[in-house]
Amino acid sequence: MKKKCGKKMNNEGFSLVEVLVAVIILALVAGPVLMAFVMSARFNARARESQRESVVAESVMEEFKGLSIKQARNGVAGYSLRSDNPAAYEFAKTVSVDDVNYDVKITATPLRDKAAADRHGADTLLDKIVNTEAMNPYYDYVFTQNMYQDKTVYDLILNNVFTYLDEHHNFTADNPGKSASDLNKDFISVDREVKIEIYGDVDAQHVKISYTYTYAINNYPVTVHTIVSKNDFAPIVIDETNEIPIKDYKDLRRAYLFYSPGYKGEAAKKVCQIKHDTVSVVNNIGGRNIEAYVVKQTNPLYENLTTLNNEYFPTVTASADVTLHKYVSIGDTFDGFASYTSADESLMYALKVEVFDDGADALGFPAERFLYVLDGTINSKESDD
């Protein structure tokens, strides 16, 4: 019988040590996997939360574009007035997304020029500014500057200066390891001229925008014994032959330039430090009056706009047959500011939308409850008509 059955079957199973080893191995393998799932879930939850916050801010920004400040002050669309100061209106509103409530704080600050402040004081309702909603592509030329343009040109200028110093004055030999970004910008001056040129005849009108950057080296100390100056670099020009096309019109009436200002202060060095900034509008069509609007736009590449704006003093001019409107921020100075003419123009506001978690409004919007911010510019009609 034993010979027929052969070997005995092993029914002993796993020992306790083997089971413990298997459990430990499983824990070592499963731990990171479970942690990855947890982290992924947290990341996805935060991503959904960030998306909701941005949706809240963008919805408020878009809603304000369709309202007047007067309507918001009167509680239209659920806005409550927190501060009725014309220098900076503050509103609050609760917005719900995916059944999650958020308290939103909105600050509307009028973008005013110094001349308007001198004439009207704090009464911003007396200010006038261009109504961009009324722009007509058949009659109006509109150009908005690329916010990266000045920095791109500035980097090119620094490279040109570095190359010149290295080729003619052995800059890298005396300054090993240095590059164009390491140059001392205090000894490099850059001037910028922005020009709107209108030309043609009664049958066809054309508009051309050009940016001309001139630059020089002013007593650059390459070494103790080598001081370099050079002011005959070829200007860098961006015009219709490069990035900006010529515009053709049959009945041109208005030209709008939304441009990034050229700051000269210390804080501008990382982007583009411009010593002199000139904006000119030239109308070469005799007898045809053109309304020209020169509007300074906020450039987010600059870090300290408050300080920079206080140091920004451009020269803005226009030729004959041009009614010039120049709108800038508080603290800027334009000499010979033109009078405001149209009674139905609108006031432009810088709008700041801050999103907080639910209940922050009742606590005065404390900083620790802050979640998200969105900045923008709106045109607010002066009346509800």
Beta bridge partners of 214: 191
Highest mean pLDDT among 25-39, 275-289, 321-335: 275-289
Residue 266 CB contacts under 8 Å (≥ 6 apart), including other chains? none
pLDDT of 234 strictly over 60: yes
In whole angstroms, what is the distance from residue 87 CA to residue 90 CA? 10
Highest mean pLDDT among 119-128, 175-184, 331-340: 175-184
At residue 333 the predicted structure's pLDDT band, cuts being 50, 70 and 90, is very low
Name the strands in the sheet holding 100-110, side by side, starting at the edge strand that comes first in the sequence.
80-83, 89-97, 100-110, 347-357, 370-380
| pLDDT value of position 38 | 62
**Structure tokens belonging to residue 170:** 């052995």
Side-chain-side CA neighbours of 297 within 13 Å: the count stands at 19
| pLDDT value of position 23 | 74
Instruction: State the amino acid at position 29 in one-letter form.
Output: V
**Structure tokens belonging to residue 177:** 């390891």
In whole angstroms, what is the distance from residue 353 CA to residue 126 CA? 25
Name the strands in the sheet holding 254-259, side by side, starting at the edge strand that comes first in the sequence.
140-144, 254-259, 290-296, 322-327
In whole angstroms, what is the distance from residue 300 CA to residue 352 CA? 14
pLDDT of 115 strictly over 80: no
In whole angstroms, what is the distance from residue 59 CA to residue 127 CA? 27
Q: Which comes out higher in pLDDT, residue 202 or 128?
A: 202
User: Of all helices (H) and strands (E), which one includes residue 88?
Assistant: none
Length of the chain equals 385
Task: Tell me the Ramachandran region of residue 69: left when phi exceeds 0, alpha when psi lies from -120 to 50, beta otherwise.
Answer: alpha
- How do residues 123-168 score in pLDDT, each as one tens digit? 555 544 445 556 777 888 888 888 899 999 999 999 999 999 999 9
pLDDT of 183 strictly over 60: yes
Q: Where are the domains of the chain?
A: 130-339
pLDDT of 383 strictly over 50: no
Mean pLDDT, rounded, for 166-191: 91
| pLDDT value of position 363 | 94
- How do residues 45-95 score in pLDDT, each as one tens digit? 677 888 889 899 999 988 887 787 888 888 888 999 999 887 788 999 999
Mean pLDDT, rounded, for 338-358: 64
Longest CA pairwise span in the chain (Å): 127
